Each structure stands twice: as C-alpha cells, then as structure tokens.
Amino acid sequence: MENRSGRTPRGAFTLVELLVVVAIIGILVALLLPAIQSAREAAKRAACQNNLRQLGLALLNYESAEAHLPFGKRVEPDGAARSWVPDVLPYLDQQAMVSDANYDLNQDWWRIQSVYVEDPANPGAFIPDPSGGPVPNGITVQKFLDIMVCPSTTIQERTQFKDDGPVGHKIGACGDYFAPEGVHSRILNELPNTAPLGAPFPEFPPGVTANSNTVLAGVLLPFGAGALPAWTTTIDGDPRLQLIKKRVSFPSLSGIADGTSNTIMLGECAGREDVWRGRKLTPANATRGDVSCARARGGAWATNDNTYAIGQRIQWCNSSLTGVSAVPGTMKINNSNEWGHLYYSFHPAGSQFAFADGSVHFVSEKVALWVLASLTTRSGGEALSGGDF
C-alpha cells in the first residue's frame, strides 16, 4: 500500500536489538558498580582515618596537659572502672559529657545508682537502691559518639547490654576503636619457634611459654588494684608493679623506647558486641546459659573491657579470662573481633591504626603476625621500619 504522506515507514526495534541494548547496559552497570563501591569505601576509610587521627591527637594533647598519658583502663576497689575514653573527651570538644552533672569519675562507668539491692519480687536479680543516690554515668555512656565509630562498620549503632547480677545492668553505646594493652604470651602458640632472619620478633624473656600469663606492655597501660587478671610484666613502669609501693606510675611518651612512629597506640576492634568471625555475624547475646550465647566483650566505649592484650583465643561464653577457647582461623587482622584476639575492621584487606606519633596507617591483613606484635609493644626492642608494615 502506498504511503500517502510520502515518508518512508520507520521500523521498530527488533527483539535482538533490544536484548543487545539491555546486555550493554548490564555490562556497564557491572563495570561501574565496583568502582562506585570502591569510591564509597575510600570515603569511609578516609573518615575512619580522620577519627583515629583526632583520637590520637586528643591523647597527645592530654599528655601535653597532664605530663603523662591516661591509663588504658582503670579498675579500682572504690569504683571508677572505665576506659581511657572519658579521660580524653574534654580534648575532643566534649567537656560537657564528663562534667560533674553528667559523669562521676569516682564511680563505675555503667552506674545509675551508687547502691544496688536484691529485687524482692525477683530473687537473684538486683535493682538500684534509691537511698544510695543517683549516678549519671549509666545515662551518659549510652550516648553514641560518632568519633568512636568507623563508617565502614556494618551496624553503626550498637549497644552493650549485660546483666551482671549484684550490680545490675551494664549498658553502654558501643565503639570500634580500642587501646591495646600489649602482647600476651599466648601468642607464642601462633608464632614460629624460630624467627626468620632479620624479623622484628617480639622478645619475651627466656623461659616464658604460652601459658606463662606474661604481657609485653603496650602504650596505654592498665591500672588496677586486685581487679585485673594476674598478669606479670617485663616492662619497668607498669603501674601494677608500683601498687605494692603505693605509688602510681603513669604511662608516658618517654616510656615508648621503640619509637613513637613504630608503636601502635589505638587500633580497630569493630563490630563489638556482636561476634564477627571473618565476615560472618553472630548477633550479641550475653546470657551464658543460652545456646545462642555470643559476645565480643568490651564493645561499650566507656567500659574497662575496651582494651586488652592481643594474641589470645578467648570465647567469652564458654571460658574464663584465662581459658583457651575455640576461636577459629589464622590469627591475623580481620579474623575475629573477640576480646583478646587481635585487630578487626570492616575495611577490605586490612585495618587502620593510630600510632604514638599522631600518624595513622592502614596495615594489610597480610602483615606478618610477629611484625604486628612488635608494633604493639612499646618497649620490646624490636628493630622496625616503615617497610615492615
């Protein structure tokens, strides 16, 4: 039939042409999506780096003002159990959070009352006793601090909730950064018997074994009077050595004999209190009697459990502080975020660290374990350079 308009009829897309277009779009999306995800992770990694840099500078500013660094944790007979974080909040423009109205440094980090009594309606459970007087700490520590959370962490806002018998509930907002106490001798189970030639190997004293319960100290030392695990130390100045003499020895920059640029001050243990092994999540459940019990303890930014000595395999649900558990996998960065193990982040292929000189470095998960251990000690005498990590 003649086209009366005089124009040539325009054919539609064939099915083959349409499929080709769809295939091209699919290929472009497949090519662009990893690039977009990589760009997003790069931005998150930069934000995480900035968090660690600010925290590191806050610790250095604290040291400049006080002539010493804060303890990694405090555990005293009269209370005041807490992490290093409340001490540095004034240097992070958060003075109000630790003002007298919002935080009592002479009380445990989790308290809302100074005295707890057994609940008459529920024997075996304990409730706050109003006659003891209110304590603001337990409310303040439930506030989420953006600077304590890595943007790459899968679940951003997490809360530690632990029912602790006579002292009630220990509740606090979680964070992703912690101060390593040092290196536990149990890491000898993971290290080769003989160090490779020239390796910066952690130097435990002669005769120390994996069961010796010895710790090579890190930067922010712990302070405690009978409430810490019965660890020994090889480092002069550890405050646990001074308790008998009634003299407190504070951690300081001058005690970092390995060099501030070669010593980790803060690292990532992200995702707590949920348990992460590899990239597999087990949601937190702090009830030890439950079959679903799972807890990467120390998640709350204010808890004295924030810090630990690396190199251990401790499963909180089935063992005591000194027990050996079945945390699986090779001991390396990003293997597990459970207390005492190592370092863990949600960054692909590694984790970020704030060093004692104020710098921040990304360290590959392929780094040798003995290098990571040597970076964690403050006075181990290992010879390190930037090329080692």
Task: For residue 244, name the pLDDT band (cuts at 50, 70, 90).
Answer: very low
232 has pLDDT over 90: no
CA-to-CA distance for 269 and 336, rounded, in angstroms? 9
320 has pLDDT over 80: no
Beta bridge partners of 363: 351
Residue 303: closest CA among 147, 164, 126, 108: 108
HEC string of the chain equals: CCCCCCCCCCCCCCHHHHHHHHHHHHHHHHHHHHHHHHHHHHHHHHHHHHHHHHHHHHHHHHHHHHCCCCCCEEEECCEEEEECHHHHHHHHCCHHHHCCCCCCCCCCCCCCECCEEECCCCCCCEEECHHHCECCHHHHCCCCCHHHCCCCCCCCCCEEEEECHHHCEEEEEECCEECEEEEEHHHHHCCCCCCCCCCCCCCCCCCCCCCCCEEEECCCCEEECCCCCCCEECCCCCHHHHCCCCCCCCCCHHHCCCCHHHCEEEEEECCCCCEEECCEEECCECCCCCCCCECCCCCECCCHHHCEEECCCCCCCCCCCCCCCCCCCCCCCCCECCCCCCCECCCCCEEEEEECCCCEEEEECCCCHHHHHHHHCCCCCCCCCHHHC
Global pTM? 0.84
List own/partner pairs for 25-34 with CB under 8 A and 24 or more apart. Answer: none
231 has pLDDT over 80: no
Q: What mean pLDDT comes out for the span 369-386?
A: 86
Task: For residue 373, name the pLDDT band (cuts at 50, 70, 90).
Answer: very high
Residue 366 CB partners (closer than 8 Å, separation 6+) = 332, 349, 350
Higher pLDDT pick, 236 / 318: 318
For residue 106, give the amino acid letter: N
- Whether the CB-CB separation of 347 and 361 falls below 8 Å is answered with no
Tell me if the bond preceding 273 is cis, omega within 30° of 0: yes
Beta bridge partners of 355: 264
250 has pLDDT over 70: yes
Task: For residue 207, name the pLDDT band (cuts at 50, 70, 90).
Answer: confident
**Percent of the chain topping pLDDT 70:** 85
CA-to-CA distance for 62 and 85, rounded, in angstroms? 11
CA-to-CA distance for 195 and 8, rounded, in angstroms? 83
Residue 207 CB partners (closer than 8 Å, separation 6+) = none
pLDDT (tens digit, 9 = 90+) per residue, 21-52?
A: 888 888 887 777 676 667 788 899 999 999 99
pLDDT for res 9: 59
pLDDT (tens digit, 9 = 90+) per residue, 58-114?
A: 999 999 999 999 999 987 766 678 999 999 999 999 999 999 899 998 889 998 888
Residue 170: closest CA among 138, 126, 144: 138
Calculate the average pLDDT of the chain.
Answer: 85
Beta bridge partners of 223: 74
pLDDT (tens digit, 9 = 90+) per residue, 124-156?
A: 777 777 777 889 999 999 999 999 999 999 999
pLDDT for res 77: 63
The separation between the first and the last C-alpha atoms of the chain, rounded to the nearest angstrom, is: 79
**Percent of the chain topping pLDDT 90:** 52
341 has pLDDT over 70: yes
Residue 200: closest CA among 216, 213, 212, 186: 216
Q: What mean pLDDT comes out for the span 170-192?
A: 94
pLDDT for res 228: 40
pLDDT for res 384: 75
Joined tokens for residue 371: 């290098």
pLDDT for res 279: 95
